[in-house]
Amino acid sequence: MPDSSVVLSKRNKSYFKASQMVVFPLLFLVISVIGIFSYNYFLEKNIKTNSNLEVKLAENTKPKQNNTNNTNTQKPPVGSTNSNKPKDVFLGLASLTSTGFVNTINSPINLLTGLKVVDNNKNNLKIRPWAVMIKNKPQDRPQVAISEADIVYEAVDELGTTSLLGIFYENRPEEIGPIANLKYYFANFALDYSPFLIFTSGPESSVDKPNLVDKDVDVYRFIGSYGLYSISQDKNGAEVFSNVVSGTQPQSYLNIGKLYSYLGKVYGSYLWVDSNNYTSWNFKEDQPNPVVKEFSFNFWDLTDYEVKWVYNQGQNNYLRNQGGSAFTDKKNGKQVKAKNVILIFAKETQTSDAYSNLKYNLIGEGDAYFYLDGKHIKGTWKKTTVKSQLKFYDSNKEEMKFNRGNTWIEMLPFKSKIKVVNSTN
């Protein structure tokens, strides 16, 4: 059989009649349209089949836990050896604007705050939360976008200084920072939310230095053991973070554009499929009762880290001060507020390793103070296992009911002194 390409090259140009010049493009167009519709039908069917992502929410109602045994087939996170994550379905960012995407109820509820979510933020509820470590030294204040976190944890980083862990779920700021190092107890807090855990670096690893580092404080071991999706400056650098020179030191800031590009490339999904395993706190309506005017405390004894929360009766929330100054957000210039402030007390010790790393016992239960509605309430915190959620109970052993809105959780060592100023003083 002759080579068709040779035969064709020898044919007269009149072989291509005008009618055929019209038929061929039309035939190609029809085939293309059929292919596009078939692909979209398959994608839509695949999403409906494989993504069990509907948020089952109602005000004052806890979502039921859904224990799945799905196997994750996507590429595991950097530094992780855990492969028991639920299967994610990859959707590009553009797909998140589709009206048929997963959750189309009129008033979705933010699991972390109990508040109805504005329309522009509804799609964020389907994106895996960000747990972002944020620096808190005096030279790092004011931080960018700290007021947009739904929940913030504060604890001692080292030598009495503190760092912050912001959980961003409803709001996804374009920039957050400056980004801080990670300690294992912050990773323990983050584990509740199955987030993308974002930080600069962690302490030395017990894998690399088994005789110098206590394995109980090894961040990378913790991340690998519990399958946290980690994103760090050490491993990802310019792919995710922007560097800004502040004073004489370069600072790293999370860049949302770079982050989404990286997530799509490495993890293949942005979706929070674990939301069905998260049990929301109990929320209630505001009940102002201005008994406590303000309360203050310190983690160790450094004045730059002494915290004071002042009750704002007009809005039934608390204004944050630290180091003798108003604690503000650089993005909007406003003083940071919280609807609920929780103090938890945990046993603080130092390891006997070469670095004398700090340890906090977060398994079991301990004392907790709750500040909301202008009141001081004594209760307890409880966490039965590393993987179980941190829970809060009042003096009657009933689960606490919080006001709808953002919450700050302050972890203090045992025997920390709390100064309370009552409204009648």
Q: Is residue 369 part of a domain?
A: yes
Quick check: 418 and 294 in contact, CB under 8 A?
A: no
Residue 227, Ramachandran bin (φ over 0: left; ψ between -120 and 50: alpha; else beta): left
Look up residue 378 and give its two tokens: 């004594």
Residues of the domain holding 26: 18-50
Tell whether 43 and 66 lie within a shared domain.
no
Tell whether 77 and 92 lie within a shared domain.
yes
Q: Which of 40-44, 70-74, 140-144, 220-224 has the highest mean pLDDT?
A: 140-144
Instruction: Tell me the one-letter amino acid at 117.
Output: V
Q: Is residue 331 part of a domain?
A: yes
Residue 193's CB is within 10 A of a number of other CB atoms, namely: 25
Tell whether 34 and 78 lie within a shared domain.
no
Residue burial 333-353, b: 16+ Cβ < 10 Å; e: rest: eebbbbbbbbbbbbebeeeeb
Q: How far apart are CA 301 and CA 165, in angstroms?
A: 21
Residue from 401, 144, 403, 208 nearest 288 by CA: 403
- pLDDT grade for 65, boundaries at 50, 70 and 90: very low
DSSP state of 61: B
Tell whether 27 and 99 lie within a shared domain.
no
Q: Is residue 11 part of a domain?
A: no
Mean pLDDT score of the chain? 79
Number of structural domains the chain divides into = 2
If you average pLDDT over residues 290-301, what whole number do you get?
96
Tell whether 191 and 273 lie within a shared domain.
yes
Tell whether 34 and 147 lie within a shared domain.
no
Tell whether 46 and 107 lie within a shared domain.
no
| Strand, coil or helix: 360 | strand
Q: Is residue 12 part of a domain?
A: no
Residue 32's CB is within 10 A of a number of other CB atoms, namely: 10
Q: Is residue 4 part of a domain?
A: no
Q: Is residue 195 part of a domain?
A: yes
Tell whether 34 and 99 lie within a shared domain.
no
Tell whether 330 and 378 lie within a shared domain.
yes
Global pTM exceeds 0.75 = yes
Q: How far is CA 10 from CA 20, 337, 355, in A?
A: 19, 81, 81
Whether the per-residue pLDDT at 263 is higher than 50: the answer is yes
Greatest distance between any 2 Cα atoms in the chain: 104
Q: Which of 50, 71, 94 is the last residue in one of the domains?
A: 50
Q: How far apart are CA 332 and CA 312, in angstroms?
A: 19
Q: Is residue 10 part of a domain?
A: no
The secondary element (H helix, E strand) that includes residue 401 is: strand 401-403
If you average pLDDT over residues 383-388, what whole number do you get?
95
pLDDT digits (tens, 9 = 90+) for 8-34: 233 333 333 445 455 555 555 555 545
Q: Mind giving me the DSSP string for 114-177?
A: -PBPPGGGGGGGGBPPEEEEE--SGGGPSBBSGGG-SEEEEEEEETTEEEEEEEESS---SEEB
Tell whether 395 and 354 lie within a shared domain.
yes
Instruction: Tell me the one-letter amino acid at 128.
Output: R
Instruction: Tell me the one-letter amino acid at 405.
Output: G
Identify the CATH number of the domain in which residue 366 sits.
Answer: 3.50.90.10
Q: Is residue 5 part of a domain?
A: no
Range scoring the smallest mean pLDDT among 23-27, 306-310, 373-377: 23-27
pLDDT digits (tens, 9 = 90+) for 393-412: 999 999 999 999 999 999 99
Better-scored residue on pLDDT, 27 or 248: 248
Tell whether 198 and 250 lie within a shared domain.
yes
Instruction: Tell me the one-letter amino acid at 22.
Output: V
DSSP state of 382: E
Q: Which of 9, 30, 50 is the last residue in one of the domains?
A: 50
Tell whether 38 and 85 lie within a shared domain.
no
